Structure 1
Amino acid sequence: MDQIRPFPPQDLLDKAEEDEAIRLAPAPDLMNWVITNFLTVGGPLHNPDHDHIAELLHDNEEFVGVIKRWGADESVKRLIEVAKQAPFVSDVNISKCCGTCLIS
């Protein structure tokens, strides 16, 4: 495991004193570090209780693998039910609105 987590860009930290304010930005390598250390099976800090987070970050094939291993929780079951239904906005009307107002 990388013992030191990634840090925000140094130039933002350097400007903090000068600007008398702290500017926030994620470390450029943070996402990869979290996936490698926390979400990858066999990673140094992997915890199966966090596998549901991997559903949000990994591609479709990995998502399918997680569901095959652990099953679908209620939010995944809801996603499946919504995906089975016809869209609220038909192909003909999709250029005229985003469809958000049609969802109730």
Structure 2
Amino acid sequence: MNKTINTPDLLTRLSQVRALVLDVDGILTDGRLHFTEQGEEHKVFHSRDGHGIKMAQKIGIEVAIISGRASPALRHRAENLGITHCLIGVKDKGAALESLAQTLGISLQAC
């Protein structure tokens, strides 16, 4: 079933979005954790997510990542996508989101 959602209220609300703030595990990955025998963590990212992020950036939406896990793979992926706000190893994601919104000069509703 293909339904088009284009109510005036939704379109108005979407036009006010200024930032897309994402978690990683289960959002940009499938949620599985892969470890080598040496204990190094590997993450698998989907290219379609990267394409969507690039599309959002192209229309002026600031894309940011807030993750509780510290991961070199994540840092590398963020750099490849041009994501400048990549907060890793965050214990309080709510506080990090509030701080990020303040840094970007936008309301939480615009995230």
Fold-level similarity (TM above 0.5): no
TM-score (norm 1): 0.25
Q: Decide which structure has the larger Cα Rg and report it.
A: 1
Greater relative CO (CA pairs within 8 A, separation 6+): 2
Whose strand fraction is larger, Structure 1's or Structure 2's? 2
Whose helix fraction is larger, Structure 1's or Structure 2's? 1
TM-score (norm 2): 0.24
